[in-house]
A and B are shown apart, each in its own frame.
Chain A
Amino acid sequence: MLDFQIKEQSTEYDVVIIGSGAGGGMAAYELTKAGAKVCVLEAGQYYDPADPKYITQLKAPWESPRRGASSTRAFGDFDAAYGGWDIDGEPYTTTKGTQFHWFRSRMLGGRTNHWGRISLRFGPDDFKRKSIDGLGDDWPIGYDDIKPYYDYVDKLIGVFGTNEGMHNNPDGYFLPPPKQRLHELMLQRSNKKLGIPTIPSRLSILTKPVNKERGQCFYCSQCSRACQAYADFSSSSVLMIPAMKTGNCHLITYAMAREVLTDPTTGLATGVSYVDTQTMTEKVVKGKVVILAASAGETARLLLNSKSARFPNGLANSSGIVGRYINDSTGASRAGIIPALFDRKRYNEDGVGGMHVYTPWWLDNKKLDFPRGYHIEYGGGMGMPAYGFGWGIEGINEKYPTREGIKKAAGGYGASLKEDYRRFYGAYIHMAGRGEPVPDYNNYCEIDPNVVDKYGIPVLRFNYNWSDYEIKQAKHMQDTFEQIIHEIGGVPLGGKPDAKSNYGLAEPGKIIHEVGTARMGNDPKTSVLNSNCQAHDVKNLFVADAAPFVSQGDKNATWTILALSARTSNYIIEQKKKGSL
């Protein structure tokens, strides 16, 4: 026992959920709708995208003294993520010679408040990679097992897109996609010549209303600021707030989970101990079922920190697999400038928050020197000028003569320089590959034996290296990006990333798609959870974030987190009804 006073609540909840992001939000929503009494612990503060005191949406850059610069928020002053890769007093470490960056949002809804809303289903192949090429592992479930839940999530939350009949990029229940922006039409035209498919993106943004609680997109392009009309998917607005409205959900904010508590006799989870970060007191909340949904990293940390005589290696870790196989999406990017877009006509081109078209993986890895695919996300257009606007013009303006054919020297000043800023506005495109890594036993997170955070909770230490599989994939991305930029009539900016920089492959964690730290499987010796995301070792302990992922596909994780969480929640409800929980 901890040697200071612990305040224990007398209430025993049906379910205690740690984390209020996509996974925790969906579990809270499903379980409270089913009548369960649920307590949700959120490490950060309350947040509601519609409450004026939190709103950054539609604010102009001059309302910020730093004009939207990223001094305090990693993605800029208006971004709806309280937290980031570095949080004061909440460190993590890496083993020597390895790198990992861990992004955390401390707020109701977690990272869903600012995410890209890219809502891709995994395809049938994504669950069976080992069967296809012998690398990695198969999931214990297949596409058909999760499909009904993807369908449910599509209809409940809303996603736009188009049914294309692609085998590994499955169709869904889509709202109409927004029309392409100018550079997106140009990309579709030029990519077609390269045989690179460029189709409407699939984003959880409401181009049509789905219910009376949520509004419709009004095309401000600012989903990263979270939508005051609830027209995009944030767990705060779409799941947590409705769950609280049932009257069955008790949300505790500023609750930093320390350990999952267990009964030494039965080995079952009995609740969660946490630090009330406002008063710095230790508290306990009791529950008949515990669901971990505080992110793949926090789930591993909690399990490994929940040690007892019965569970000396940490909870649900008889396999020793907790923390193993952590993997983030690969990411590499490139930008270009399109002279045909110089001096372009102005109109409001904000559109939705993010790209209107994307490129799903289109090649056969059997014919390539790397085993997994990637998709391409595109950016560009006449976005809102803010901090950083025009930065680096001294590398651009000498290269392109004016309409009148006047060649200028790099840099400069005065009215002529103002002309340059106007000329180049909206003429840039950029693209980013997001790919699938091969999960590796030797990439892991563990408890650092020497370091605690400001709450006294031992912190994670990461050990992560990219392999040739990912590096070769990044090389392919860079070759493809140059082809795309050339074909559209553009000029790539900066040097082409080469072997020295792993072809621009982002350091692990930078893409913020970390998954796989408590993977599912049929064999309790090689997995932490069974096919229902239930711990092999502790039957009333479940995981509803991305920790159960066996692999992550070349898709973003959120839609699968939501579908799996809904599936796990329904399993819990069924088991409760049967009396087996």
Chain B
Amino acid sequence: MKKRDFLKNIGLSSLGLAVVSQDALAGEMLDGPKPKPKAAAAPTTTPKYNYGRTKDEMARDAKLLAEKFYTDHEMKTITVLSDIIIPADKFSGSASQAGVPAFIEFITKDKPEFKTPMRGGLRWLDSTAIKRFGKDFVACTAKEQINIVDDIAYPEQAKKEFSQGVNFFTLMRNLTASGFYSSEMGHKDMDYQGNRPNNWEGVPDDVLKQYGLSYS
């Protein structure tokens, strides 16, 4: 689509709908030198994520996405833990249903400072489970899992001997919340109503009344 046409199409109704096909964008370099015919003939793949990335960012994301950090066992543990932190309730689904484990896998590669605290924390959890119940965390029953989680989920009340576990669980809680509430399911759970063209006309009248405020 030509830029002029795009501009013409911009209006409250069409905004956000004016999108060129993902295929057309595939492999397109951002304002780089025009690909030589040879390069253009090379097979291109549609990037999984395509939201205004620069060339360097696309390359970095592709590299991270191709890497695998957590073992299958670690991913299982992350899945169980994230669903303990954010289970399904009457308003929304669980963390794993919202794709939180995959988010945690990516963000750990994206922010390497999480690598050791997460890997080590997962090991701490398994070693605690083995000491207490003779099996690793995911092999424990739900009741046994909660028995351990209760020791590390409440920073102000936890016994000192669990302080490393508390730190790990706090990081898991924060990453899980980040992943869940930044998902489509999380937005619906929070009843976030923005990120769309609209006409802001001020705080609704009933809310103004509730807080004893007015515009006059």
Q: Mark B94-136, 1 if CB is under 8 A from A, else 0.
A: 0000010001001100110000000000000000000000000
| Residue A511 is within 8 A (CB to CB) of chain B in the complex | no
Stretch in A286-294, A414-422, A491-499 touching the partner: A414-422
- Complex-state Cα separation, A68 to B183, whole angstroms: 11
Stretch at the interface among A57-65, A162-170, A534-542: A57-65
Interface residue? A53 (CB, 8 A): yes
Please tell me the number of chain A residues within 8 Å of chain B, measured between CB atoms.
84
Task: Mark B170-199 against chain A: 1 for CB-CB distance below 8 A, else 0.
Answer: 100110011101111011011111111111
Chain A residues closer than 8 Å to B87, beta-carbon distance: 414-415
Contact call A71/B110, Cβ cutoff below 8 A: yes
Most A CB within 10 A of own CB, among B52, B195, B206, B210:
B52
Return chain A residues, CB-CB under 8 Å to B192: 346, 382, 384-385
Q: Is B204 an interface residue (CB 8 A)?
A: yes
Cα A390 to Cα B178 with chains together (Å) = 7
Contacting pair A182 B31 (CB below 8 A): no
A61 to B51 alpha-carbon distance, docked (Å): 10
Chain A 218-241, CB-CB to B under 8 Å as 1, else 0, gives 111110000011100000000000
Complex-state Cα separation, A390 to B190, whole angstroms:
11
Q: How many Å lie between the Cα of A386 and that of B187 in the bound state?
A: 9
Quick one: which of A344, A384, A413 contacts B195, CB cutoff 8 A?
A384
Q: Which residues of B contact A58 (CB under 8 A)?
A: 15-16, 195-197
A55: chain B residues within 8 A (beta carbon)? 51-52
Q: Report B1-30 CB contacts with A as 1/0, cut-off 8 Å.
A: 101001100111001101110000100101
Check if A8 is an interface residue, CB within 8 A of chain B.
Answer: no
Q: How many residues of B contact A (CB 8 A)?
A: 84
Residue of B nearest to A420 (CB): B177
Interface residues of B in 113-172 (CB under 8 A from A): 149, 153-157, 166, 169-170
Residue pair B10, A215 in contact (C-beta under 8 Å): yes
The stretch of A115-123, A391-399, A477-485, A565-573 in contact with B is: A391-399
Q: Are A418 and B199 CB-contacts (below 8 A) given A45-B31, A67-B103, A394-B173?
A: no
Nearest-neighbour CB distance to chain A for B47, whole angstroms, equals 10
Asked if B181 and A389 sit within 8 Å, CB to CB, the answer is yes
**Smallest CB gap from A182: residue in B:** B203
Contact B111 A71 (CB under 8 A): yes
**B63-109 residues at the A interface, CB under 8 angstroms:** 64-65, 84-87, 89, 91-92, 99, 103, 106-107
- Measured CA separation A54–B31 after assembly (Å): 10
Residues of A within 8 A of B65 (CB): 65
List the A side residues contacting B25 at CB < 8 Å: 52-53
**Residue in A45, A54, A344 whose beta carbon sits within 8 Å of that of B52 in the complex:** A54
**B46 interface residue (CB < 8 Å to A):** no
A421 touches B181 (CB 8 A): yes
Over the window 27-54 of chain B, the binary record of Cβ atoms lying under 8 Å from chain A Cβ atoms (1 yes, 0 no) is 0101111000000000000001101101
With a cutoff of 8 Å between Cβ atoms, the chain A residues found around residue B60 in the complex are 72
When distances are taken between beta carbons in the complex, the residues of chain B under 8 Å from A63 are 49, 51
Whether A346 contacts B193 in the complex (CB less than 8 A), given A58-B16, A387-B178, comes out as yes
Taking CB atoms, residues of chain B closer than 8 Å to A222 are 195
Q: Is the CB of B181 within 8 A of A413?
A: no
Residues of B within 8 A of A421 (CB): 177, 181, 190
Q: In angstroms, how far is the closest chain B Cβ from the Cβ of A521?
A: 40
Q: Known: A60-B184, A253-B31. Contact between A410 and B10, CB under 8 A?
A: no
B179, B200, B211: the one within 8 Å of A340 (CB): B211
A346 touching B198 by the CB < 8 A rule? no
Q: Which residue of B lies closest to A381 (CB)?
A: B194
Q: Give which listed residue, B3, B30, B107, contacts A50 with CB less than 8 A.
A: B3
Q: How far is the CB of B211 from chain A (nearest CB, A)?
A: 7
A392 pairs with B31, CB closer than 8 A = no
A51-B6, A52-B1, A411-B173 as given contacts; A348 in contact with B193, CB under 8 Å: yes
Q: Chain A's nearest CB lies how many Å from the CB of B19?
A: 6
Complex Cα–Cα for A410 and B57 (A): 38
Distance of B162 from chain A, by nearest CB (Å): 12
Q: Is the CB of B206 within 8 A of A345?
A: yes
Q: Given the complex of chains A and B, what is the CA–CA distance between A392 and B87 in angstroms?
A: 19
Whole-angstrom CA separation of A259 from B28 in the bound complex: 33
Q: Does A186 contact B (CB under 8 A)?
A: yes
Cα A422 to Cα B207 with chains together (Å): 17
Q: Is the CB–CB distance between B181 and A350 below 8 Å? A: no
Q: Tell which of B3, B15, B154 touches A48, judged by Cβ atoms closer than 8 Å.
A: B3
A413 to B20, CA, bound (A): 42
Report which residue of A47, A55, A61, A189 has the largest number of chain B beta carbons within 10 angstroms of its beta carbon. A61
User: Given known contacts A52-B20, A410-B154, is B91 in contact with A418 (CB within 8 Å)?
Assistant: yes
Q: Which of B18, B198, B215 contacts A348 (CB 8 A)?
A: B198
| Segment touching B, from A152-160, A173-181, A555-563 | A173-181
Decide yes or no: A411 and B182 within 8 Å by CB, A59-B52, A69-B111, A385-B187 being known contacts: no
Closest to A386 in B: B182
What sequence of 0s and 1s flags, for each residue 28-47 of chain A, a beta carbon within 8 Å of any chain B beta carbon?
00000000000000000111
Closest approach, in angstroms, between the C-beta of A416 and any C-beta of chain B? 9
Instruction: Return chain B residues, CB-CB under 8 Å to A71.
Output: 110-111
The reply to whether B211 and A389 contact each other, CB–CB distance below 8 Å, is: no
Chain A's closest residue to B112 (CB) is A71
| Structural contact, A179 and B202, CB atoms closer than 8 A | yes
Selected from B32, B174, B201, the residue in CB contact (under 8 A) with A179 is B201
Which residue of A56, A69, A398 is within 8 Å of B156 (Cβ)? A398
Please determine whether A219 and B199 come into contact, CB atoms closer than 8 angstroms.
Answer: yes
> Which of A82, A278, A391 gathers the greatest number of chain B CB atoms within 10 Å?
A391
Residues of B near A77 (CB, < 8 A) are: 51
User: Other CB < 8 Å A-B pairs besides A55-B51, A179-B200, A220-B198, 10 of them?
Assistant: A45-B32, A51-B3, A52-B6, A220-B195, A346-B190, A347-B193, A350-B194, A385-B187, A393-B173, A414-B84
29 A-B contact pairs sorted by A residue (CB < 8 Å): A48-B3, A52-B20, A52-B25, A58-B196, A59-B52, A62-B99, A65-B106, A67-B183, A72-B57, A178-B200, A179-B215, A185-B203, A185-B213, A218-B197, A219-B200, A220-B198, A344-B207, A345-B207, A347-B193, A347-B203, A347-B207, A389-B177, A410-B156, A411-B153, A411-B154, A418-B189, A421-B177, A422-B189, A422-B190
Binding site for A on B (CB under 8 A): 1, 3, 6-7, 10-12, 15-16, 18-20, 25, 28, 30-33, 48-49, 51-52, 54, 57, 60-61, 64-65, 84-87, 89, 91-92, 99, 103, 106-107, 110-111, 149, 153-157, 166, 169-170, 173-174, 177-179, 181-184, 186-187, 189-204, 206-208, 210-211, 213, 215
For the complex of A and B, the 6 pairs showing the least CB-CB separation, nearest first, are: A179-B202, A390-B177, A218-B197, A67-B182, A350-B194, A61-B182
- A interface residues with partner B (beta carbon < 8 Å): 45-48, 50-56, 58-69, 71-72, 77-78, 82, 178-182, 185-186, 189, 213, 215, 218-222, 228-230, 253, 278, 340, 344-352, 382-394, 398, 409-415, 417-418, 421-422, 425
